[in-house]
Structure formats: structure tokens, C-alpha cells
């Protein structure tokens, strides 16, 4: 495997691929055609030098991925909106009056803030409160930290299992698999064809799912060491340490995406295993969408010539 620098995200009936500051979102429209939107997004880590420092850049990279993710999700959702001719409700009219043309950006900002608050509450605070019930029976701080971490992972797995029952989410997981398979295809020196992509793995070490699992595992190590007396201080410590834990997790994920060492591969296994829940095997039509997104932002032929000169570049007719 050789690092390509491209990454992506599954959206509604499509895929976004990003290469440096260029990104492209390819969506399979209801009429069966593939619509591609290209754009440029400059990360805050490139705009502000301080934000690009190791163990700091992880938090800002995560924020960038949320902003770009919301932007591309909004684009893909536009092809599948219902009741376009219906009259706007009172809430829509009020939002238009207050925010005017910026109503979409305001809604996106609200959704992102709400999502972050809910994620902190469900995956950081709730496991602590549940584990705290057992504190009267368990005196070891190390055991309590491990119990809290196991509860956190259990809630995450349960959440993924529940949402995967929804048809739209199942299809999104299939597109997620197509995204990974495309990147793996290129990074393992194969030409970007439907057949080669189908043969590639749907797991990738740089996946966001791996990042989340790393956050949960590393949080156990942090909370084994950091000990406070009251439940309110413990809650506060969980919230305040999120940027630190995220920064450490990002650095490992960044290393994993560029390394093929046995140790790194072994440490990456929990995240790779978890991807079995958030990715699924795509059909050929989804692979075609993923290839279209890659072609829009990445010269994979030049990449193969430079990194895999032995590869015969053969394109599909």
C-alpha cells in the first residue's frame, strides 16, 4: 500500500472524494445519471499555521470534515427532496425572515452544534453515569475506567446496529464501502476499473470509524490516569479532554494511513473490525459513482506511473 492522499465520505446515493483542497461529490440521480459537483475547500490547518501543529491539527481536521460533510450532504439531499411544491410552514417562513439568504448556513451550523452536543452527551457523559452506578461495588479506578470504556463502545455498537436497519443508512454504508474499495484499489497499484475496485477491500485504516474507535480506546487510557473525586468533576474532565484525546487519536490514524508496519497494522485492527458495521459490499452502480468522484479530483494514472511503474494502465471501454 502506498499513500495517495485522497479521502472521502459517503453521502445520500453518492460519494464525496477529496484531494488536497479539491473535492468532488458524485451522486446517482433518481433518473439514473451521475451528477458531479466540484469545489474547493481549504482546511483551517492550511489557513492558520498554529492549527497544523501535531496533536492540535486533529481537532481542526475533524471540524473541517464536519463542515465539508454537511455541505456535500446538502448537495446530495437536494436530488431526493419531497413535496417541493408544498407551501412553506411557519418555521420555514420564520427562518427565512430572520436569516434571509443565510438560512441554509444557519441551519447547517445549528445541526453541527446540536450533533456535537448530543455525541458528547451520549458517548462521553452517559457511559460515565452508567458506570458510576457500579462505583459502590468497584474500588479500583483502573477497573472503573475500563468498565466505562466498554460501556461507551457498547453504546456505539448498539447505535450503529440500530441505524443500520434503516434502508437509507444501509445504502449509505454500501457507498461507504465503495469509497474505501476505490482508494484501496489505487493504493495497491491497480487501475481504477469496476472489476478491480470490486476485488479490493472495503476496509481502510484512515476511515473515520477507526478514528472514533481510537478515541474510545485512548479515552480508557487517559481516564485510568486522571482521577477526580466527584461525579461533576469527572463529567467536566470527560468534556475538557475530548480535544486532547482526539488529537492523539488523529496522530495515530495519520501514521496508520502511511505505514504498513506489523505493529501499526495490529493496533489498527479494532478500527478495521468496526468498519464491518459501517461499510457493506456495494453494487456495480455504486462503484461507478465512486470512480466518477475519484476521476474528478485525482489523476490516478499519474499516481500509478509514479508509484507502481510496473502496472499496465488499462481502462474499461
Q: In this structure, is residue 315 part of a structural domain?
A: no
Q: Is there a domain that residue 312 lies in?
A: no
> pLDDT at position 317, please?
44
Strands (E), the chain: 6-11, 14-19, 22-28, 34-40
Give me the sheet containing 22-28, strands edge to edge.
6-11, 14-19, 22-28, 34-40
**Residue 259 lies inside a defined structural domain of this protein:** yes
pLDDT at 94: 56
Measured from the Cβ of residue 162, the count of other Cβ atoms closer than 10 Å reads: 10
How many domains does the chain contain in total? 1
CA distance 259 to 268: 11
Please check whether residue 162 lies inside any domain of the structure.
Answer: yes
Half-sphere exposure of 224 (CA within 13 A, CB side): 11
Residue 303 · residue 186 · CB < 8 Å: yes
Q: Per the structure block, which three cell numbers stand in for 205? A: 485504516
Residue linked to cell 464536519: 66
- Looking at the domain assignment, is residue 110 inside a domain? yes
Residue 1 counted as domain residue: no
Between CA 210 and CA 220 the distance in angstroms is 16
Residue-level length of the chain? 317
The Cα-based distances of 122 to 30, 118, 151, 221, 293 in angstroms read 35, 6, 11, 20, 34
Range of the domain at 97: 6-79+89-307
Summarised one tens digit per residue, pLDDT across range 32-59 is: 999 999 999 999 999 999 999 999 999 9
- Residue 129: inside a domain: yes
Question: Residues in the chain with pLDDT < 70?
Answer: 82-104, 314-317
- Beta bridge partners of residue 19, listed in sequence order: 6, 22
Question: Which region holds residue 55: left if phi is over 0, alpha if psi is between -120 and 50, else beta?
Answer: left
Sign of CA dihedral 134, 140, 143, 149: positive
> What's the CA gap between 55 and 151, in Å, rounded?
26
- How far is it, in rounded angstroms, from Cα 288 to Cα 193? 9
Q: What is the CA radius of gyration of the chain?
A: 21
Burial class (CB in 10 A: 0-12, 13-18, 19+), 86: exposed
What does the block give as the cell for 135?
Answer: 462505583
Q: Would you say residue 317 lies in a domain? A: no
CA dihedral (114, 117, 120, 121) in degrees, to 10, reads -100
C-alpha cell at 215: 478515541
- 152 phi/psi in degrees, rounded to 5: -60, -50
Helix 242-256 to helix 231-240 angle (10° resolution) is: 40
The answer to whether 130 and 151 are in contact (CB under 8 A) is: yes
Amino acid at each position: 500500500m502506498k499513500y495517495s492522499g485522497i479521502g472521502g465520505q459517503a453521502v445520500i446515493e453518492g460519494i464525496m472524494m477529496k484531494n488536497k483542497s479539491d473535492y468532488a461529490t458524485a451522486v446517482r440521480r433518481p433518473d439514473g445519471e451521475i451528477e458531479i459537483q466540484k469545489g474547493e475547500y481549504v482546511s483551517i490547518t492550511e489557513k492558520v499555521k498554529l492549527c497544523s501543529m501535531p496533536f492540535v491539527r486533529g481537532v481542526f481536521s475533524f471540524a473541517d470534515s464536519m463542515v465539508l460533510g454537511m455541505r456535500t450532504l446538502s448537495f446530495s439531499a437536494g436530488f431526493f427532496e419531497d413535496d417541493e411544491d408544498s407551501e412553506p410552514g411557519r418555521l420555514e417562513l420564520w427562518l427565512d425572515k430572520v436569516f434571509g439568504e443565510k438560512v441554509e448556513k444557519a441551519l447547517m451550523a445549528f445541526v453541527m452544534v446540536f450533533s456535537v452536543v448530543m455525541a458528547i452527551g451520549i458517548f462521553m457523559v452517559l457511559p460515565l453515569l452508567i458506570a458510576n452506578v457500579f462505583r459502590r461495588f468497584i474500588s479500583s479506578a483502573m477497573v472503573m475506567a475500563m468498565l466505562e470504556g466498554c460501556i461507551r463502545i457498547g453504546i456505539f455498537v448498539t447505535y450503529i446496529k440500530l441505524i443500520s436497519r434503516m434502508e437509507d443508512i444501509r445504502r449509505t454504508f454500501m457507498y461507504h464501502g465503495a469509497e474505501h474499495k476505490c482508494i484501496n484499489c489505487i493504493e495497491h497499484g491497480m487501475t481504477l476499473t469496476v472489476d478491480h475496485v470490486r476485488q479490493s477491500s472495503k476496509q481502510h485504516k484512515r476511515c473515520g470509524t477507526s478514528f472514533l474507535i481510537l478515541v474510545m480506546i485512548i479515552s480508557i487510557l487517559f481516564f485510568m490516569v486522571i482521577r477526580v473525586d466527584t461525579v461533576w468533576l469527572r463529567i467536566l474532565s470527560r468534556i475538557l479532554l475530548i480535544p486532547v484525546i482526539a488529537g492523539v487519536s488523529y496522530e495515530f490514524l495519520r501514521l496508520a494511513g502511511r505505514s504498513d508496519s506489523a505493529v501499526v497494522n495490529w493496533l489498527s485492527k479494532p478500527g478495521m473490525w468496526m468498519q464491518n458495521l459501517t461499510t457493506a459490499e456495494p453494487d456495480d452502480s455504486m462503484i461507478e459513482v465512486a470512480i466518477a468522484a475519484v476521476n474528478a479530483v485525482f489523476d490516478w494514472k499519474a499516481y500509478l506511473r509514479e508509484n507502481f511503474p510496473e502496472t499496465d494502465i488499462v481502462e474499461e471501454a
